[in-house]
Chains A and B, each alone.
Chain A
Amino acid sequence: MQKQQMPEGLQDPAQPAAARVMRSPSSLDLEITARCNLRCRYCYFFNNPAVEYLDLPTDEWLKFFDELGSLGVMSVTLAGGEPFIREDLPLLLAGIVRNRMRFSLLSNGALIGDEIATYIAGTGRCEHVQVSVDGSCAAVHDSCRGKGSFDGAIRGIRTLQRHGIHVAVRVTIHRNNVHDLENIARFLLEDLGLPGFGTNAAGYLGACCANAGDVLLNIEELNEAMASLLRLAAKYPGRISASAGPLAEGRVWRRMEDARAQGQPAFHNGGRLTACGCTNIKIAVRADGAIVPCNMLNHVELGRINRNSLAEIWQHSPVLNQLRSRHSIPLTEFEFCAGCPYVPYCTGNCPGLAYTLTGKVDHPSPDACLRRFLEQGGAIP
């Protein structure tokens, strides 16, 4: 006999009663292929010395999807490489649907044709297909992605739109498109009629490391990108989003500077390595079947699909649990943060970028450091 409340109080599923880790991840990021039809100059995926670039056969993924279904996983994001390059994509999607999951796809758009779009629409389970668009015209977009890639992306978007599939465009900001942001916003939101788009920035990961000088924004360009994006976000309310990159930084840094200037108390997630919380919600798999905490931490192998139990890794992996306990590490422990007035308002930022830039996961990332930005001549718009 249990003593419990009656079920009339339907609760918000986004608010679990306590911060304990769920029994299984609610979603997974899956790099279903290591192949891609493009070689973008800032791709985080390629040129990672810790990664073996292999594709798993169909059966391996289908078996893994059965495990995800048994664990009650709700959604998967299929990426790569380029997921549409897999000839067996309909079979994989059928396995996802059979196991009661929804899915999203991250793509460059060029390989999306009517046949696969018809199939995706018919599943009724597609959250969105994200297509990367980095410019308002071929000259800008193709500068980092290769000749013909702009036409392919736009053709893919129009195909998805024709089939009623939700298109989510991502604009990665770099040195070659930072002056084109106004045109990009007008092109995506007005000419293509998209409801919105997301932005981030090329980061010091993968292939970008070899091209950093040509690709990554310098301080002047970062200033320009932040100012442009904040202006455009005001012009198109609610239609331009960002969880990283200049727009996100511009918004967060304004809040941090306001709080510092007014002597406000520390943010609830400030002063410790609280970024990011993804490891409490989801986990990732590389194209070769290695289970990793996140695709930004592809070198941290936790096990292999169909050889190791995902539930066991999720609940008991010491490495994963150590990552989850990152949030208890105070920023004041780091020489890097010594004397910084923004510590009470800072989360330490992306652990993946922290690793590639400092060689340590448990370290603040210099990439989104407000003090460093200001010291180098940056100004918060």
Chain B
Amino acid sequence: MNQTDRPIANPSVVLREEFDDWAVLFNPDTADAVGTNPVGVAIWKRMDGKRSLEDIVSEIRTSFEDTPDAVFKEIAAFVNILEEKGFVGLELDAKAADA
């Protein structure tokens, strides 16, 4: 089976949005937690297995002011960290999966 470039959030992970622009992603299978800000939350909510990383970056550029030039690199690094922690995977190619 081939992986796509479309990140998908681990459905077991809990998003706790708190006051003061603060949020926690919690993986109950590992007890691992990651604190993040509203941009991280916006990225998390877009990792649905349908959007590519480029799609997500494009939407973040639209939704937030003053996104830095290195936004793609920064978001890719964020997603990589989540991937390493098991919070995110890559969607499988549907055709390959069917075959």
The residues of A with any CB-CB pair to B shorter than 8 Å are: 1-13, 15-18, 20-24, 26, 72, 74-75, 97, 100-102, 124-125, 127
Task: Tell me whether A16 and B18 are in contact in the complex, defined as CB-CB below 8 angstroms, given that A7-B74, A8-B77 are known contacts.
Answer: yes
* Closest A residue by C-beta to B77: A8
Inter-chain contacts of A1 with B (CB < 8 A): 63-65
- Report the interface size for chain B: residues with CB under 8 A from the other chain: 37
CB of A365 to closest CB in B, whole Å: 31
CA of A100 to CA of B40 in the docked complex: distance in angstroms?
21
State the main secondary structure of chain A at its contact with B.
Answer: loop
Contact of B63 (CB < 8 Å), options: A2, A20, A72:
A2
Inter-chain contacts of B99 with A (CB < 8 A): none
Nearest 7 CB-CB pairs, A to B?
A7-B40, A11-B35, A13-B35, A72-B16, A3-B65, A17-B20, A13-B33
* Closest A residue by C-beta to B40: A7
State the main secondary structure of chain B at its contact with A.
Answer: mixed
CB of A156 to closest CB in B, whole Å: 23
Inter-chain contacts of A24 with B (CB < 8 A): 16
Task: Tell me whether A5 and B20 are in contact in the complex, defined as CB-CB below 8 angstroms, given that A72-B14, A127-B31 are known contacts.
Answer: no
Interface residues of B in 45-89 (CB under 8 A from A): 63-68, 71, 74-75, 77-78, 81
Inter-chain contacts of A72 with B (CB < 8 A): 14-17, 26
* Closest A residue by C-beta to B11: A100
Task: Judge whether B63 and A7 touch: CB under 8 Å.
Answer: no
CB of B87 to closest CB in A, whole Å: 11
Inter-chain contacts of B94 with A (CB < 8 A): none
Task: Tell me whether A8 and B74 are in contact in the complex, defined as CB-CB below 8 angstroms, given that A1-B65, A22-B18, A72-B15 are known contacts.
Answer: yes
CA of A270 to CA of B28 in the docked complex: distance in angstroms?
35
Contact of A22 (CB < 8 Å), options: B19, B21, B26, B34:
B19
